[in-house]
Every structure is written in C-alpha cells, then in structure tokens.
Amino acid sequence: MSDASAAPPSFDFDVIVIGAGYGGFDAAKHAADHGLRTAIVESRDMGGTCVNRGCVPSKALLAASGRVRELADAEHLKGFGIHAAPVRFERQKIADHANQLVETIRTNLTRTLERSGATILRGKGRLEGSQCVGVRQSNGVDRIYSAREVIIATGSDPFVPPGIETDGRTVFTSDEAVSLEWLPRWIAIIGSGYIGLEFADVYTALGCEVTMIEALDRAMPTFDPDIAKLAARKLIDGRDIETRVGLLARTVTPGCPVTIELADMQTRELVETIEVDAVLVATGRVPVSKDLNLGSVGVETNRGFIPVNDQLQVLVDGQPLPHLWAVGDVTGKMMLAHTAAAQGTVAVDNILGHPRTIDYRSIPAATFTHPEISSVGLSEAEARSLGESEGFELGVVRSYFKANTKALAELESDGLMKLLFRKDNGEVLGAHLYGLHAADLIQEIANAVARRQGVRELATEVHTHPTLSELVEVAYKQAAMAIDG
Ligand SMILES: Cc1cc2nc3c(=O)[nH]c(=O)nc-3n(C[C@H](O)[C@H](O)[C@H](O)COP(=O)(O)OP(=O)(O)OC[C@H]3O[C@@H](n4cnc5c(N)ncnc54)[C@H](O)[C@@H]3O)c2cc1C
C-alpha cells in the first residue's frame, strides 16, 4: 500500500468519486483495491450510461437483431446450401434479453464495488469548495463529506438540438431506444454517427424502414472516408435506409405521425416536411457538469466539458488544481466506456503516487454494426499533417477481406483494413477497419500503437491460419515491404 492511504483522520474519505459509470467504477475500485478509503456517489443507476442506457443494452439488441438478419438473409444462406424457414422473432423477448443483461451487469458491478470495500453513497453529488463533496439524497437529506482527493465522473447525456421536442415515445433518444418498446414501421434517425448506425442496424434487421438524416454533406462523416464509402454500400445503401444529407431537422414534433421539418443546412430554408412513425435523435452527447458547483473551486468548463491534463487533473487557467480530478465523458476526450475506465485508473495511480499519463492514441473505437467498423490512432489526415510537421512520409497499405481465407469461408468477404505507418521508422500510427469482427481485430493494432511498434518487427509475428487476424499480418508485411522495397 502506498503512503497515499495514510490519510489524515480529518478527512471522511481518501477519495470520493462522483458518478458510478465506467469511469467512476474503475476509479473507485482501483482506489479501494489499493487500500484507499473510497466513497462513490451515484444519483441514478449504478453503472451509468454504458451499463443502463448504452453499450450493454445496445449490444444485446445488436446480437439478437444480427441473428435475425443472418437467418433472414436467404441469399447468404443459399451460398452454403442452407434453406431456412422464414424467420420469426418476438420483439418483447429481444427487449427482455437486453433488460436482463443490464440487470446482471449492474448487479455484478455493484457487488464488485461493495466487495472492494468502497462505500456507495446514493444521492446527487456536488463540490463544496476544495476537498469537500455535498451529497443530497432523494429524501432531501443533505450531507457534506470531506476527502483528500475528489474525482468527478459524471458522464454525459444525449444532446437534443433546439427545435426538436422529445416525448420519449414517438420522438426519443438512445436512452429510450435501448428498451425497444415498439417497432415503428418507419423511423427517422437523426445523425449518422456510431449510435445512429447501430440503431439503424437493429431497426432494419427487425423490418423497419429507416430514413437517416445527416446535417453534414456525407453520411458517416466521423469515419475514415474510404472506410465510410465501402461500409455505407452495405450498411446504408444495401438496406431499407434512405439517406438525406446536408439537411437539418429544424423542428421535430412528436405525435402520430411525427412531423419533421427539414431545412437546408447552409441557408436554413425549409426544404421539405416529412411524416414518420418515430424519430430517434442521435446527434451526440453533452457533458453532465452544470449542477456540480464547479464555481466553488473556480473551474470554468469548455461548453460543459471539464478541462483536464493527461494525468486527469482538473485545470484552472491551464494549471492543475490540487486534489481535483475528472475522468470519462465529462472530460470530452474520446467518449467511450473503456476510455473512461482507463482514465479512472490513471487518475488513481497518480493519486497513489505512481505517475502515469493516458495515451489516447492507442485507444480503439468500434461500431457494432453487421459487419463492424473500428479504428485506432490517427486519422489519415492527422497522420499526413504529423508527417509534414515532423518531416516523414506517410505509408498507407490496404488489406482486403476478400483475400482472407476465413472471411471467404464465412462468405463475408466485404471489408477493408487500412494501416497507417511512418515510412522512415515503420511506426504504426493508426488503422481503420470495416468487416467481419473488425471490433476484435483492431485490438492487435491498438496494442502495437500503445508500444509504438514498427511494422518490420510486427511483420515477423506469426498469425493463426485460417483466421481474420491474418488480415493484420498481411497489412504489416505489405508495410514492411513498402519500407524495405
Ligand atoms: C447507445 C450508446 C451505445 C454506446 N456503446 C458504446 C460501446 O459499444 N462501447 C463504448 O466504449 N462506449 C459506448 N458508449 C459510450 C459509453 O456509454 C460512455 O462513454 C460511458 O458510459 C462513459 O462513462 P462515464 O463513466 O464517463 O459516464 P456515464 O456512464 O455517463 O456515468 C456517469 C454517472 O454519473 C452519475 N451522475 C451524474 N451526475 C451526478 C451527480 N451530480 N451526483 C451523482 N451521480 C451523478 C450518472 O447518473 C451516471 O450514472 C455508448 C453510449 C450510448 C449512449
């Protein structure tokens, strides 16, 4: 145990974490496991967005709807000589599967925290000056606790743009969509980021017609352009999805039907009014920080996001504020569950006196559509501009699923991996993938990025045959050849 555990008795806790999502959970568990007297404050459900309204239920829905898609894909099955009966599914049972998984993970997570010795405080937390946290329980009881270190992990909520009215039933966000309470015949999804795409995957597999509305001038604007182009052919154009790009959903009015006024993104002039059965608003997320009383310690947010350095210390005028840390979505850095968790442990390691920084470049991201999309490291544009500033040439190689034996055996040869590397020393800078199990495949490249490994060394590593991982091997070998000629 480190000296950090020897807190002066004047503090109620060594560490108080506000928010029990993935960021708060990993921070509190790590702190308690290392002997720090730890409390975690939660005002809603243990596990936060990921467990209750995000990764967990959405992946359960994708698993079930993915199977429906597979069994209903007569052409694909015919390739194996399989002729299945028409597929039937029960919406409620699919919803139940998601709800039960949420319940299981939430219970496990809560028990794990309790077993680690962390104290769970139910209520809404806020700062009360330095090293003090106020907690208001739902019954109105309010108490102030002192802590040597405070970690803010209050996460994010869905962003609903002005002009869009939600009623939770016909116009809703992912918070409600994960419950799959009904299947609209025609649903408009506003936003073609990863949340919009994943729900489009679920809805189309279950027989809904989708209209995807994107304000920017192309669908999937946040993805690598080559990957987006290829993926869109199957994930959007190949399905019952109509895309409307360059259009702003200026107003959305709930009801039966739901009315959407679409305006030109540039001129803001009305282009068309459409009527649909439901609307999913998937236009990004906003930090939860406004009720934290950050002013009591002089912290100014950036549109609600709490500024932090790579040690996860909260910054005031660019300088770290003693004893205050922030992790997870509320910091606005790669808003993903595993980023939040990693930040949580890095913050606690620093509290424990083991200096560490977080390496965002090696954190992978995945979209769990069928097939999946994933990425790690720099985008091609970022890698090119790094090359210009540091004076190296960027190497780009492509490895195709259609040349992979396992993908061909699965009749899933649609896909591409793009590997970015430095041509001078071979260092892997990033990768962008679309294809079967892309979310699993990216991890190998993420590990290489984390170690700043070069393609010459990586090209010598033997991969199991026949597996999809040979796609990565092929890319490394091509890259090594490109360097050595
Ligand atoms: C539909 C959807 C799918 C997703 N899928 C994935 C995925 O597949 N993979 C992935 O990596 N990420 C995914 N994400 C993102 C992921 O859910 C978030 O990045 C992650 O939950 C962030 O964790 P966090 O701990 O920062 O915050 P949160 O999970 O938002 O948790 C914050 C917690 O703090 C609590 N809180 C807030 N204010 C207070 C207060 N004042 N006092 C006490 N408690 C408070 C909240 O109630 C909440 O429980 C998905 C998100 C959504 C919406």
Q: What is the atom index within ligand 1 of the atom nearest the CA of 49? A: 29
Cβ of 191 closer than 6 Å to ligand 1, yes or no, is: no
Residue nearest to atom 51 of ligand 1 (CA): 54
Question: Can you give the residue ranges of every domain in the chain?
Answer: 13-51+97-158+286-358, 171-283, 362-484
Cα radius of gyration (the chain): 24
What pLDDT, in 10s, does the model give residues 198-236?
999 999 999 999 999 999 999 999 999 999 999 999 999
Q: How many Cα atoms are found within 13 Å in the side-chain-facing hemisphere of 444?
A: 21
Cβ of 376 closer than 6 Å to ligand 1, yes or no, is: no
**Same CATH fold assignment for domains 13-51+97-158+286-358 and 362-484:** no
Peptide bond into 86 cis (omega under 30): no
Cβ of 98 closer than 6 Å to ligand 1, yes or no, is: no
* Cα 328 to ligand 1 centroid, rounded to whole Å: 8
How, if at all, do strands 319-326 and 142-152 pair?
A: parallel
Q: What is the atom index within ligand 1 of the atom nearest the CA of 25? A: 25
DSSP of 421-480: EETTT-BEEEEEEEETTHHHHHHHHHHHHHTT-BHHHHTTS---TTSTTHHHHHHHHHHH
Cβ of 12 closer than 6 Å to ligand 1, yes or no, is: no
Distance CA 153, CA 466 (A): 43
What pLDDT, in 10s, does the model give residues 98-151?
999 999 999 999 999 999 999 999 999 999 999 999 999 999 999 999 999 999
Average pLDDT, the chain: 96
Cβ of 369 closer than 6 Å to ligand 1, yes or no, is: no
- Active-site amino acid positions: 465
Distance CA 198, CA 61 (A): 9
What pLDDT, in 10s, does the model give residues 14-32?
999 999 999 999 999 999 9
Picking from 401, 368, 355, the residue whose alpha carbon sits closest to that of residue 65 is 368
Q: What is the atom index within ligand 1 of the atom nearest the CA of 177? A: 1
What pLDDT, in 10s, does the model give residues 371-405?
999 999 999 999 999 999 999 999 999 999 999 99
Q: Are 29 and 112 in contact (CB under 8 A)?
A: yes
Cβ of 145 closer than 6 Å to ligand 1, yes or no, is: no
* Cα 48 to ligand 1 centroid, rounded to whole Å: 5
The vertex-405 CA angle with 404 and 406, nearest 5°, equals 95
Cβ of 50 closer than 6 Å to ligand 1, yes or no, is: yes
Q: Indicate the pLDDT class of residue 85, thresholds 50, 70 and 90.
A: confident
DSSP of 107-140: HHHHHHHHHHTPEEEESEEEE-STTEEEEE-TTS
* Cα 198 to ligand 1 centroid, rounded to whole Å: 17
Distance CA 74, CA 86 (A): 9
Helices (H), 54-193: 55-72, 74-78, 91-116, 174-177
CATH superfamily of 362-484: FAD/NAD-linked reductase, C-terminal dimerisation domain (3.30.390.30)
Q: Indicate the pLDDT class of residue 9, thresholds 50, 70 and 90.
A: low
Alpha-carbon 228 to chain mean position: 17
Distance CA 327, CA 29 (A): 14
CATH superfamily of 13-51+97-158+286-358: FAD/NAD(P)-binding domain (3.50.50.60)
Q: Indicate the pLDDT class of residue 240, thresholds 50, 70 and 90.
A: confident
Distance CA 368, CA 450 (A): 23
Q: Are 224 and 209 in contact (CB under 8 A)?
A: no
User: Which three-class secondary structure string do you get for 301-363?
Assistant: CECCECCECCCCEEEECCEEEEEEEECHHHHCCCCCHHHHHHHHHHHHHHHCCCCCCCCHHHC
Distance CA 308, CA 306 (A): 6
Best mutation site among 154, 189, 290 for ligand 1 pocket (most ligand atoms within 8 Å of CB) = 154
Q: Which CATH architecture has domain 171-283?
A: 3-Layer(bba) Sandwich (3.50)
* Cα 373 to ligand 1 centroid, rounded to whole Å: 21
| Confidence (pTM) | 0.96
Best mutation site among 55, 174, 203, 293 for ligand 1 pocket (most ligand atoms within 8 Å of CB) = 55
The residues, ordered by sequence, that sit 6+ positions from 360 with a Cβ below 8 Å of its Cβ are 333, 334, 339
Q: Are 328 and 337 in contact (CB under 8 A)?
A: no
Cβ of 288 closer than 6 Å to ligand 1, yes or no, is: yes
